[in-house]
Every structure is written in C-alpha cells, then in structure tokens.
Homo-oligomer: A and B are copies of this chain.
C-alpha cells in the first residue's frame, strides 16, 4: 500500500478502501465493457464528511478522483480514463453507493432530500409510499443512483411532461476540488442570489465536484394512466400526431415514443410481447397519458382526442387504447425491450441524437438517404423519445455479413453521416447520454471555439488541479 493509501486509511476513520486487483478491475470496467481501466483503490465513503476528507487528501497527493454511481453510463464517464494524457495519472475510484445519510421528504413543500447513493428506484418508491411521484424514469432505474442521474442530467421516458433531471432538482450539495462542502438543500423554488452553481454541477459528469446530496421536486402521484398504441405512416405522421395531442391534451401527455417497423419486428422476434395488429411496414407510436382524475374520465378524454386525430387522416391507420395497467405494461414492454432485442441480434452502432421536434423528419430522411448513398445497406433500428426530439438512431450490420467486420470497417463513416445530418438540422450528438470519455474529441471538434474556451476556463477556475475525472468531457 502506498504512503497515500496508508494516509487515507489512517486519516479518514470508517472509510472503506479496497486495494485488491479483482474488485478494482471490476469497478473500473464500464457498463458497455468498452473501457477496462484501473485505480489505486476503490473507496466507498458513507458520509459527506468522509468525501470532504478524501478529496482534500487526493488534492494534497495529486491523485485524481473518478466518481461512480451505479456505473450504468454509456459513455465511459464513471470509470478512469483509458487513454490520452491523463490515463497515466493515479486515480481513486470513489463509489457513492454507500452515501445514504439522508432520505427525507417535505410533503407540504413537495420535495425530497436524499444522499447521492440511493438508487433511482429507491427514491421513486420512497416518494410513492407517501402518495407522491418522483417522475424521473429510465431503464437502469434499479441500479443507477441519484448522484449519477444528476451528474449526467439523465433523461428517460417522462421528460416530455416533467423535464430532465436538471428540471427536477431544486438544490444540491457537493464537495468541491478543495474538499469543501458547497451548495444548498433548502428546496427553494425561487432564489436569485448569485450564479447558479446547481445547474453548473448538473450534467458536469463528475468533472467539477462530487455530488453528495440533492433536494428534488415531487408531484402528486397520478390516479389514472392510459396508454395508446398508434400505427402511423411514417415519422412525419408521428410528429403531426404529437402536435395534435399537445393541442388537446398537453397536460395529460406524459410520454411519446416512436419506433420504426424494424425495431418492433425485432422485439417480437426475440420476446413473447406482441404489438397490436395493424398494417404491415408502418411506424409505431406509444403515447402515455396520466392525470389526477378518474380512469374513466381520462380514457374518455383520450379516446375523443385520438378519434379526432384519425378522422379523415390517412397517415394514422390504427389506434389501440389500453383498458388497464396490465395492457399498458404489455405495450411498454415492446418499447423497453428494443435495446435487448438488438443486443441479441449482435453488434450495432448507437447514436443518441436530438433536434427540434419540427426537424426530426428532415434529419431522419437525410441521414437514411446519406447512408444509402454511401452504399452502406445497414438495418436501421430507430426509436426514441420523439416528444423530446430525441432519437436512438441505431444501425445494425446487414444480416448476411459479419457484424464485427462490417462495423470495424464502417462505424466511423456511419457516425460521421449521422452526426453531420443531426448537426445540419440544428441538433446535438448527445441528447441524454453525455460526453464522458467516448465523445470528448467529438465535443471539442463540434463546439464553437468561444464556448469551448468557456468550458475550459470554468473547469480551470473550479478544479485548478484537474482532480475530478480528468480526461472526461473535455479533451485535455
């Protein structure tokens, strides 16, 4: 054990430190198994005070701190950097899952305050036990943590109604690069007293501080829920459908998910779930509505809005409306199993892009046309949170070719095509997954120079030793 580690053990009573190679290697491998890195130790603090002491000690010894929540990120942000100038720096991996000091709720203020280590699912359940809703919802909710959700500004399936993690956070506490506790947990809905450090920390991917606690917004739990499955001609019709529903039922609309035919065919190939019967080859839309009123009132309202939509509209071909929670779950399973169905098919190239909803069809058509023009006959498995302008534009190798060879050969060209198309449509190359180490070069290349210089200046101002997650988000 190095002097630094002995110092840590002695100096911070109760701090759990692991220096065995196996658990270190496991913790330093990311969710997608793209990055297998290492660290001096895995440290698992239980208190914010331990985090403060740890960061101070790391600063004194020049040891970098990589913070990890549930390790479910998709861009290598939660494991030490694998290449570039910072890959050789000594790191500790700070796992936040034992940070569980605080879990309280203020019903009259509609807020919940929790330590960073609670999983999203635990927080949802705690709110639900009080008849309240924490609306953030994503596939990894059983594993991902509140701290990770905040650090990555997680999105998910209810952003359309309730916003991203950013919009759900009223305040946070973090440990800065000097090992000092900063921020606030007051749960204020109005507070104009200086620069908004909260929003600077949210989405900063562990590069500006270690988020230890947060105060988040709650909502009354809906009393009724209703899911519609629509067969629509194409993505253009899906956008028109969204706009129609927003005019009539904006405040009941909770999710609006679009899927192309290939995506749904694939799920039905690998899973028992069956989509409602409709014309072959068309696109699919899943819409969720919820309200504080009765099931019957919501159902009637939605049925009216959708009947109105179909009336004389050949682009919307079929509508199925669920009658109970079980039916709703069955439809959601189709959407939620796309990624896994795709994994069963083998390798693919994933893109997490967004642009204004109004320009999604243009992006979709341009990207597919450019892929065809380049002679790359991929299978597009396209789906996503259309209501937020966010698509997961995933591309699989043609079934008759070796996927690994095809992708090694064409992945870069496919990325270039998709990224060029989304940028040309006023979009972004990372809607909800962030930058991490995967896209740091891309971020530098596509960001306007004055904006990128502002990023670098802020990082230098708040973390002058580049202690937190070096080599992430920023390219150097």
> Which residues of chain A have a CB within 8 Å of any CB of chain B?
106-111, 152-153, 155, 159, 163-164, 166-167, 176, 178, 180-183, 186-197, 199-200, 202-204, 208, 219-220, 239, 243, 246-252, 291-292, 354-359, 385, 388-390, 426-435, 439, 443, 447-452, 454-455, 457-462, 473
CB distance from A388 to the nearest CB of B (A): 5
- Report the separation of the CA atoms of residues A459 and B181 in the bound assembly, to the nearest whole angstrom: 20
- Quick one: given A166-B196, A461-B461, are A357 and B454 in contact (CB under 8 Å)? no
Known: A187-B426, A190-B388. 18 other contacts (CB 8 A): A106-B356, A108-B239, A109-B389, A153-B192, A178-B450, A182-B451, A190-B385, A192-B203, A192-B428, A192-B433, A192-B434, A195-B208, A220-B246, A220-B250, A247-B292, A251-B291, A457-B461, A457-B462
Contact of A358 among B109, B249, B358, B450 (CB under 8 A): B109
11 A-B contacts (beta carbon < 8 Å): A108-B357, A109-B359, A109-B389, A164-B189, A188-B356, A194-B452, A195-B203, A197-B454, A219-B250, A248-B292, A250-B292
Q: Which 10 A-B pairs have the closest CB atoms?
A: A199-B199, A108-B358, A461-B461, A180-B450, A190-B431, A457-B461, A109-B356, A191-B428, A109-B358, A192-B434
Contact of A196 among B159, B202, B249, B459 (CB under 8 A): B202
Chain B contacts for A180, CB-based, 8 A = 449-450
CB distance from A138 to the nearest CB of B (A): 12
- Report the separation of the CA atoms of residues A428 and B188 in the bound assembly, to the nearest whole angstrom: 8
CB distance from A53 to the nearest CB of B (A): 15
CB of A246 within 8 A of CB of B354, answer no
Count of identical protomers in the assembly? 2
Residue of B nearest to A247 (CB): B220
- Report the separation of the CA atoms of residues A159 and B203 in the bound assembly, to the nearest whole angstrom: 24
Contact of A430 among B109, B193, B202, B426 (CB under 8 A): B193
Chain B contacts for A249, CB-based, 8 A = 292
CB distance from A440 to the nearest CB of B (A): 10
Residue of B nearest to A154 (CB): B192
CB distance from A350 to the nearest CB of B (A): 15
- Report the separation of the CA atoms of residues A472 and B310 in the bound assembly, to the nearest whole angstrom: 56
CB of B203 within 8 A of CB of A196, answer yes
CB of B188 within 8 A of CB of A195, answer no
Residue of B nearest to A205 (CB): B192
Chain B contacts for A182, CB-based, 8 A = 448, 450-451, 454
- Quick one: given A180-B450, A251-B251, are A354 and B195 in contact (CB under 8 Å)? no
Chain B contacts for A176, CB-based, 8 A = 450, 454
- Report the separation of the CA atoms of residues A195 and B163 in the bound assembly, to the nearest whole angstrom: 18
- Report the separation of the CA atoms of residues A164 and B457 in the bound assembly, to the nearest whole angstrom: 28
Chain B contacts for A194, CB-based, 8 A = 435, 443, 447, 451-452, 455, 473
